[in-house]
Structure 1
Amino acid sequence: MADLMVDQDARLRRPAGIRSIRLGDVSVSYVPDGDVRLRPRQLLQDTTDEVWAAHPEYLDATGHLVGSVGGLLVEYGDRALLIDAGFGPQTHEAPDGPISTVHGGALARSLAELGRGPEDIEAVAFTHLHSDHLGWACLPAPGGDEPVFAHADYLVSEPEWDRRDLLEAQGMTEQAAALAPRVRTITDGQEIFPGVRMRISPGHTVGHAEYVITGGGRRLIAFGDAVHSPIQIDHPEWSSAFDHDPVRTADHRRRLVAELAEPGTIGFGVHFADVVFGHVRQDGDGPAWRPLDA
């Protein structure tokens, strides 16, 4: 047990690599693009220095919370769907605020390792319209003029796309324009791919979407930015500085944590460290988030 906890602690301090699971006929894989280093107190503003002193396992040597940036590949036979498109081939550094550094650029290589090329992706479905999820869908590929998924449909929840003015207000007018010709809006409960349904979970953004993937008697909930770190599974009341409506997000997160504790249910946290797939176990024996393969 001690060795298991040491390994899990190490995984909480590094970004995720490629990880895959099967749900019956559906294969689901995390596709790394890069990573993000976050200032924990600025991200989760209801926490204290004492909280993080008690949980050093979540922080790297510089005191930053480590997160992953990437997408989720869903495969059914020869068909392929991508949920979120990483940050793209760029780096951002900030002297203050929740984000210290974020960089991307590996998503195309990660897809290739999984035996897929951008041309195999029939659609890119977004959890929401933030730059660390839009990345490769609206930025030119290195050495070219078009995004790598230029031929794919871009699936966005209807209320999220209806308020794309908020995207433009964040200085992302060019990204919105790049997305617009390919966007197909989707509605709550709509099946977008075999075994994949979208559900709207507003709070982080006005039309934030989660994707529920079912197969083989199990379901996986890709919950996007409803949860940024596994520590929030133990403390769903802690909303992030990026949440559009912190109270609404916290209410949803409480329900989500209870749902993730149900039998046959797996969670996927796109910004988690190297524990992106997991179960919730509220048994009082250690953290509630248990990596699927631990």
Structure 2
Amino acid sequence: MTTPPTSVPAWTVGDVRVHRVDEILLPPATGPWLLPGATPDVIAGQDWLRPHFADDDGVLRLHSHSFAFAVGGRRVLVDTGIGNGKQRANPAWHDLDTGYLGRLTAAGFPPESVDLVILTHLHADHVGWNTRKADGAWIPTFANARYVTSRTEREFWAGYDMDAPREQMFRDSVIPVERAGLLDLVEVPAGGVEIVPGLRLIPTPGHTPGHLAVELSSRGRTALITGDCVHHPVQLAHPAIGACVDIDPARSEASRRALLDSLAGTETLLLGTHFAPPTAGHVVTHEGGYRLSPVPAGSHRAHVGG
């Protein structure tokens, strides 16, 4: 059943309306596996994480979603989630059947209308809706779009000794896009690169070598989409906490610290790619680190900070 448009959360950034397109709430076991340093004691020490981002038992809440918006004359989707019907080793991702495309359409972005798909990196839970199955084959879901990721990212995986599950992910969610001629590889310098007016790719390597964050701006206002540079708000309080799947943990921490330093005390809206609702907020200093000051959907106009 198609989700009513009023149920699709969104934030206003200048003239841009950023929609969160929900896929699934990830199971409770995800937190201890993904962020092993985020122990119950660590979580308990940050009261602000409750009730939205952790429960009273110290269990982290993590979410899978995309962000859709129109900027610079393009209709943009950032990351494409896990996807339906994909064979995955992680049971939480295996053979899903969600209403993601209905929610994307309800947000005003039917698949055929999307011009640009930005992939922050090439992990299974960020590329899944790149493709859908038709007549027994995986075909691009967004047939009228250019798919963009960093050249560093694609070239790294091209030379990587993949295990069988990752090879499967590339076969069903990346290679069909390449074969259709829809994947663009972008050189992303240290200072970032504007790919359309108001839309910049920011290098945040470590989780993967070519990982990107995405910055959008409109009428003097700005927002930043984290990708997996920051998986969960607990990492604002403890930037040293990394993900078990970080390719380069030290570089991932350095990218995260630099990003949070640049946002702290500004009015830039941070949109977490895996943050459970309310998903967005401002980064503020707190007890020697940072915390997220949540901004509910529908109530924000984000300003450029200093």
Same fold by TM (over 0.5)?
yes
Match of 2:68 in 1: 73
Letter in 1 for 2:124: S
Partners of 1:92 and 1:101 within 8 A in 2: no
Partners of 2:72 and 2:196 within 8 A in 1: no
Counterpart check, 1:117 vs 2:110: yes
Match of 2:26 in 1: 36
2-side partners of 1:285 and 1:34: how far apart? 33
Secondary structure of the corresponding residue to residue 82 of structure 1: strand
Secondary structure of the corresponding residue to residue 253 of structure 1: helix
Please report the TM-score for the alignment, with normalisation by the length of structure 1: 0.82
Residues 70 and 40 of structure 1: is their aligned pair in 2 closer, same or farther, counting only changes over 3 Å? closer
Residues 290 and 236 of structure 1: is their aligned pair in 2 closer, same or farther, counting only changes over 3 Å? same
Range with greater deviation from structure 2 (113-122 or 187-196):
187-196
Partners of 1:187 and 1:198 within 8 A in 2: no
Residues 146 and 167 of structure 1: is their aligned pair in 2 closer, same or farther, counting only changes over 3 Å? farther
Secondary structure of the corresponding residue to residue 199 of structure 1: strand
Q: Which runs of structure 2 are paired with 1:51-90 in the superposition (5 Å)?
A: 51-52=42-43, 54=45, 57=51, 58-59=53-54, 64-76=59-71, 79-90=74-85
Secondary structure of the corresponding residue to residue 250 of structure 1: helix
Residues 48 and 61 of structure 1: is their aligned pair in 2 closer, same or farther, counting only changes over 3 Å? closer
* Residues 198-253 of structure 1, C-alpha deviations (whole Å, 9 max, x = no match): 12211000100111111132211111001111111111010011211111111111
Match of 1:46 in 2: 37
Q: Which runs of structure 2 are paired with 1:173-192 in the superposition (5 Å)?
A: 173-174=170-171, 175-180=173-178, 181-188=181-188, 189-192=192-195
Secondary structure of the corresponding residue to residue 281 of structure 1: strand
Q: Pick from 148, 153, 167: which aligns with 1:155? A: 148
Range with greater deviation from structure 2 (52-61 or 128-137):
52-61
For the aligned residues, what is the CA RMSD? Answer: 3.0
How big is the shift at 1:192? 2.1
Partners of 2:278 and 2:294 within 8 A in 1: yes
1-side partners of 2:212 and 2:186: how far apart? 10
How big is the shift at 1:141? 6.1
How big is the shift at 1:291? 1.1
Secondary structure of the corresponding residue to residue 258 of structure 1: helix
Letter in 2 for 1:158: R
Aligned length: 274
2-side partners of 1:253 and 1:134: how far apart? 22
Match of 2:203 in 1: 200
Q: Which runs of structure 2 are paired with 1:261-272 in the superposition (5 Å)?
A: 261-272=264-275
Partners of 1:213 and 1:220 within 8 A in 2: yes
* Residues 166-207 of structure 1, C-alpha deviations (whole Å, 9 max, x = no match): 385422341332131311011223322330011221100010
Letter in 2 for 1:211: V
How big is the shift at 1:28? 1.4
1-side partners of 2:202 and 2:286: how far apart? 28
Residues 93 and 126 of structure 1: is their aligned pair in 2 closer, same or farther, counting only changes over 3 Å? closer
How big is the shift at 1:105? 2.7
How big is the shift at 1:31? 1.1
1-side partners of 2:205 and 2:73: how far apart? 32
1-side partners of 2:245 and 2:126: how far apart? 14
Contiguous gaps of at least 5 residues in structure 2: 1-6, 300-306
Contiguous gaps of at least 5 residues in structure 1: 1-16
1-side partners of 2:58 and 2:135: how far apart? 33
Partners of 2:31 and 2:62 within 8 A in 1: no
* Residues 140-171 of structure 1, C-alpha deviations (whole Å, 9 max, x = no match): 26998533213311101110011232385422
Match of 2:261 in 1: 258
Please report the TM-score for the alignment, with normalisation by the length of structure 2: 0.79
Partners of 2:203 and 2:210 within 8 A in 1: yes
Residues 52 and 79 of structure 1: is their aligned pair in 2 closer, same or farther, counting only changes over 3 Å? closer
Match of 1:130 in 2: 123
Q: Which runs of structure 2 are paired with 1:232-251 in the superposition (5 Å)?
A: 232-251=235-254
Secondary structure of the corresponding residue to residue 243 of structure 1: coil
